[in-house]
Amino acid sequence: MIFTRSLPQNFQYMEWIYITAHFGMCFNSPEYSLPILIGSYSIFFVLGWLFPWNRSYWQQFSYIILALTIVVFIRYIGIDIGLFLFFYIAKSYFSLGHWITIKIATTISIPWTITEYFAELDLKSVTSIPENSLSEPWNSLKFVFFSLLVYASASTFTIMFTSMVVAEQKSRQLAEELLQEVETLAATLERNRIAREIHDSLGHTLSDLDIQLEVAQKLRSHNPEQSFQAVDTAKWLAGQCIENISKALYQMRQSDFDLKTALTSLMEQLRQNSVFQVQWEVNLPQLSLYKEYQIYCIVKEGIMNVQKHARASQVSFYASLTSEHIVLDIKDNGVGFDSEKMQAGFGIQGMTERVQLLGGKIDIKTALKQGTQIQIILPL
């Protein structure tokens, strides 16, 4: 069994405090020999220090058996050691587990009761009270019975209490591990989200900007006029980058973001700025702001992929609602691609990650020169 160091250490400190206090109580008692008393408590102090909580199973088992044997022997020689026996039963639970501890506690009950009996005989011989003499069979039987009853009750309480402490410790460790996993997952999701936002708002525009600057660089020496045109285009693209970032931030932050309006605006913009024949229909319910924005980004990424790669003349988009799902369908009549050789670019990867975040699935159907259809099914 694995525990953090704090639990065995705290138990160790508590044990040393109890040893010191118990030694102080017995120090001035005339019935105990001082050398034997000092030797006995020194043994307990050393045993507490040697507790092999992080060692092998057999080392821990041997430690528990040795300690219990010493406890029984010291009680036999007449020193009333009180709760020491139950300290080691608790340690057995820490080290060896539930069932082994029960077996050990059951096994030690007989020698412990016998030891208690002889210790009580010695005490009665000193006090000389004949009516309570344990030499009589009935009194002896009663003493053994009640001693076993007290021992069983104390052992049961010790095991139950220790099990609660161990369970609480395990729960705390599990909570800490889950917290670390959540923090790691949250950091991963945040990195992916930032990557998607950068790609959605800047990726395509910056690619075009890089191309224009490369053209300007190549033409600056022998065709300055075209070079200046490329620079002007690059300046316009840089402005588009700023505008795209502003729009993305606005769409993410605004509390009145409307998915249907945003999708309609996206399709209108596609129809105005391209040679596509565009058809669309949006029939969606009111959703949470987070889900609406994710759906918007998924559709926007799909449309941008059509613009950039499909070389299509027709594109259609339908957003519909079933009894249990939201269905998004983006279709074009472009060049398509070989689905078996498809490598998920950042656009497809971003769409897939967003769909997974919403608990949905994405299906891409395509073939060379037969267009592409992307169908996304999301739970309500």
- Looking at residue 272, what is its pLDDT? 76
**Domain map (residue ranges) of the chain:** 6-135, 257-380
Phi/psi of residue 131, nearest 5 degrees: -70, -20
Query: Given a cut of 70, is residue 348 above it in pLDDT?
Result: yes
Owner of token pair 């408590």: 41
What is the band of 318 on the pLDDT scale with cuts at 50, 70, 90? very high
Tell me the percentage of the chain whose pLDDT exceeds 90.
5
Higher-pLDDT residue of 264 and 138 is 264
Query: Given a cut of 60, is residue 285 above it in pLDDT?
Result: yes
Q: Comparing 82-86, 214-218, 254-258, 371-375, which segment has the lowest mean pLDDT?
A: 254-258
Query: Given a cut of 80, is residue 339 above it in pLDDT?
Result: no
Which residues are 314's β-sheet partners?
Answer: 277
Query: Given a cut of 50, is residue 3 above it in pLDDT?
Result: no
Cα separation, 27 vs 22, in Å, equals: 9
Contact, 47 vs 73, CB < 8 A? no
Query: Given a cut of 60, is residue 345 above it in pLDDT?
Result: no
Q: Find, among 205, 374, 190, the residue nearest to 298 by Cα.
A: 374
Domain 257-380 has CATH 3.30.565.10: yes
pLDDT in tens, 360-380: 999 988 888 888 899 999 998
Cα separation, 314 vs 320, in Å, equals: 20
Query: Given a cut of 80, is residue 247 above it in pLDDT?
Result: no
**How would DSSP label each residue in 259-322?**
HHHHHHHHHHHHHHSSS-EEEEEE------HHHHHHHHHHHHHHHHHIIIII--SEEEEEEEE-
What is the band of 193 on the pLDDT scale with cuts at 50, 70, 90? low
pLDDT in tens, 226-238: 777 777 777 777 7
- Angle, CA of 287, 289 and 291, to the nearest 5°: 65
Q: Which whole number is the average pLDDT over 257-285?
A: 83
Size (the chain), residues:
380
Q: What is the mean pLDDT of the chain?
A: 77
Cα separation, 290 vs 254, in Å, equals: 11
Cα separation, 239 vs 181, in Å, equals: 41
Query: Given a cut of 50, is residue 1 above it in pLDDT?
Result: no
Tell me the percentage of the chain whose pLDDT exceeds 70.
76
- Looking at residue 330, what is its pLDDT? 92
- pLDDT winner (highest mean) among 17-26, 38-47, 160-169: 160-169
Angle, helix 289-305 to helix 224-253, in steps of 10 degrees: 160
